[in-house]
A and B are shown apart, each in its own frame.
Chain A
Amino acid sequence: MPKIEFPMGKATRDAYGKALLRLGKEMPNLVVLDADLSKSTRTSKFQEAFPDRFFNIGIAEANMAGIAAGLASSGKVPFISSFACFLMNKAFDQLRMCVAYPNINVKVAVTHAGISIGEDGPSQQGIEDVALALALPGFVVLVPADEVAAEDLVAAAAKHIGPVFVRLGRAEAPKVYKEGDRFPIGGSKTLREGTDVAIIANGLLVAEAVKAAGMLEDEGISAGVIDAYSIRPLDEASISAAARKAGAVVVAEEHLLDGGLGSRVAMALARSFPVPMEFVGLDNTYAESGSPAELLEKYRLTAPWIAEAARRSISGKKTARSGGRRQGGGRR
């Protein structure tokens, strides 16, 4: 298989801003709320085009979530945005009480997710937002890998009836997909087939996973890559099929290991086809200030670390067969 080099694309938050502009024309009932971060979340583009359908709630995320619920109950389709950590952490109870529990049609689009926001440091880095979104029954949870996926998934969120969470990043993201690719809710994208190990990733780590698969190929290891952009509903059939085919799995995400994609994939495979698994993500820690590239490397979220996890997962196959316990394993 030839090496795949992805060109650098726009940040997924930029795709969000662009998608809102398009959707604003198509859907007169679409409204957008922000909490004094509209320039960063890119909802300011929508404000310029549709000033009557944009509401800046100020630095009051809880109030924003409640207002959105009231608007949605009155026939509007509200998108609410802030940084991942602020919206999910500060408005969690409001998303629970006003949106999830009564199943109200509010769209939660968070930006600046993960540690790749860089220099601002851990107070601004959303590393638990997916876990929180998954703890809201009924929420669809989406994590696009690039601008193409982000634009399509924001549109899918707008058209879906019910609460949706979309996770977006600050940093430019490698462009993994072609214009026109479609991303249905509940689907996944198989980017490579592999017979030795299957790497399941989402968000920024999809491109890293593909890079890792290339590194493994040089060693004669056949690694598959699946972009699990829809964490809930999860494409369990494709993930299970890839696990059966490869017999070993790695899950990679820019999030705490606790309660993210890895947990969901492990639960799915434990039920359908248990195989040795390894996990790449933030391991029981906050990050720090630094450049995005430095942080991703220091916190072991880059291709070499994914490849390393793949080798460990593959070695687990032999010990699993012989009935022995593996030594070491991950860093936990």
Chain B
Amino acid sequence: MSCDSAKLQMLREKARAIRRWSCIMTAEAGSGHPGGSLSAADLLSALYFHVMRHDPANPGRPDRDRFILSKGHACPALYAALYEVGYLKGVDMKSLRRLGSPLQGHPDKRKLPVLEASTGSLGQGLSIGIGMALAAKMDGRSYRTYVMLGDGECDEGQIWEAAMWAGAKKLDNLTAIVDYNKIQLDDFVRNIVDLEPLEDKWRAFNWDVQGIDGHDMSKIVEAFERAAAVRGKPQVIIAHTVKGKGVSFMENQVKFHGIAPTKEELARALAELDRA
């Protein structure tokens, strides 16, 4: 999985496209979660355009790597990644949250079969990912399973049930990514339930832990490559990110967890993203 500077540049461009779509889709819908979509854009770009083994021409192939967006509210970024990589041909990207759209307000596997799981009730994606990783081991398949968690989501007890089990069972074909953007719906994470020391928690559950800058593309790629080489432990990448990353007036703003930009804000956001 080597990654030269041209590839890194492409991944950054795709991250920009994911950010543009996240703003456009939520603005069109008039609701949604732009903040946590923007924070996850670089990670999703790396996964879908470099790290994961998958084939948009054959979405059901049994040996495809799996991705579960456990923080389902960030689905605009996931839909954008799927669109950019070629899975959503013919889907109206401006139909997010509209009646009849496959782009439901939170990921719905029945309406959009390319998704690996329906999510939106927090805390559950890591367990589903364990099931997929376990099936790979049973069937001797080499696919890997990636699960993206929110930081606020780590308040949920089930995350730690799952973390404990995967660690104890040495599920080394499972990688979790925490999009640690430091903000949840009500407030800054540290003001709700401080997660620190977060790396120590995962380490204590027998996971391989890497803490990285979740917006540094070369560090992201490196971390995924390192994770895939780990044997005997599941891996977690604690990605330190910025909520609303890439749009100055959304960055680090609690408000933009779950408020869509207005049309006027959208124009400013796109102008900033295009300049960057």
A102 adjacent to B124 (CB under 8 Å): no
Selecting from B20-28, B86-94, B130-138, B231-239, the interface stretch reads: B130-138
Residue B84, interface by CB 8 Å: no
A63 adjacent to B138 (CB under 8 Å): no
Chain A proximity of B15: nearest CB distance (Å): 28
Chain B proximity of A189: nearest CB distance (Å): 34
A69 adjacent to B128 (CB under 8 Å): yes
Task: For B138, list chain A residues within 8 Å (CB).
Answer: 31, 52-53, 76
Selecting from B109-117, B198-206, B222-230, B243-251, the interface stretch reads: B109-117
How far, in angstroms, from A53 to B134 measured CA to CA in the complex? Answer: 10
B165 adjacent to A58 (CB under 8 Å): yes
Task: For A58, list chain B residues within 8 Å (CB).
Answer: 161, 164-165
Chain B proximity of A297: nearest CB distance (Å): 40
Task: For B126, list chain A residues within 8 Å (CB).
Answer: 66
A70 adjacent to B127 (CB under 8 Å): yes
* In the complex, residue of chain B having the shortest beta-carbon distance to the beta carbon of A93: B121
**0 or 1 for each of A60-88: is its CB under 8 Å from B? (1 = yes):** 10111111111111111010000000000
Chain A proximity of B64: nearest CB distance (Å): 11
Give the number of residues in B that approach A within 8 Å (Cβ atoms): 33
How far, in angstroms, from A65 to B164 measured CA to CA in the complex? Answer: 15
B120 adjacent to A66 (CB under 8 Å): no
A66 adjacent to B124 (CB under 8 Å): yes
How far, in angstroms, from A53 to B128 measured CA to CA in the complex? Answer: 17
Task: For A74, list chain B residues within 8 Å (CB).
Answer: 131-132, 135-136, 139
- Interface of chain A residues 170 through 215 with chain B (CB within 8 A): none
Residue A43, interface by CB 8 Å: no
Given A63-B158, A97-B118, A71 and B124 contact (CB-CB distance below 8 Å): no
**0 or 1 for each of B132-171: is its CB under 8 Å from A? (1 = yes):** 1111101100000100000000000110011011000000
Task: For B127, list chain A residues within 8 Å (CB).
Answer: 62-67, 69-70, 94, 98
Residue B108, interface by CB 8 Å: yes
Chain A proximity of B128: nearest CB distance (Å): 4
A67 adjacent to B109 (CB under 8 Å): no
Judged by DSSP, the binding face of B is helix
Task: For B134, list chain A residues within 8 Å (CB).
Answer: 55, 67, 70-71
Chain B proximity of A132: nearest CB distance (Å): 16
Residue B45, interface by CB 8 Å: no
Given A57-B165, A94-B158, A71 and B109 contact (CB-CB distance below 8 Å): no
How far, in angstroms, from A71 to B126 measured CA to CA in the complex? Answer: 13
How far, in angstroms, from A71 to B120 measured CA to CA in the complex? Answer: 20
A73 adjacent to B158 (CB under 8 Å): no
**0 or 1 for each of A287-304: is its CB under 8 Å from B? (1 = yes):** 000000000000000000
Chain A proximity of B251: nearest CB distance (Å): 31
How far, in angstroms, from A57 to B164 measured CA to CA in the complex? Answer: 10
Task: For B62, list chain A residues within 8 Å (CB).
Answer: 75
Residue A273, interface by CB 8 Å: no
Residue B252, interface by CB 8 Å: no
How far, in angstroms, from A235 to B100 measured CA to CA in the complex? Answer: 33
Q: A67-B162, A74-B132 are in contact. List 15 more A-B contacts (CB 8 A).
A: A58-B161, A60-B165, A62-B157, A62-B161, A63-B127, A69-B127, A70-B129, A71-B131, A71-B134, A76-B138, A78-B131, A94-B124, A98-B124, A101-B110, A102-B108
Task: Write the residues of chain A forming the contact surface with B, with a CB cutoff of 8 angstroms.
Answer: 31, 52-53, 55, 57-58, 60, 62-76, 78, 93-94, 96-98, 101-103
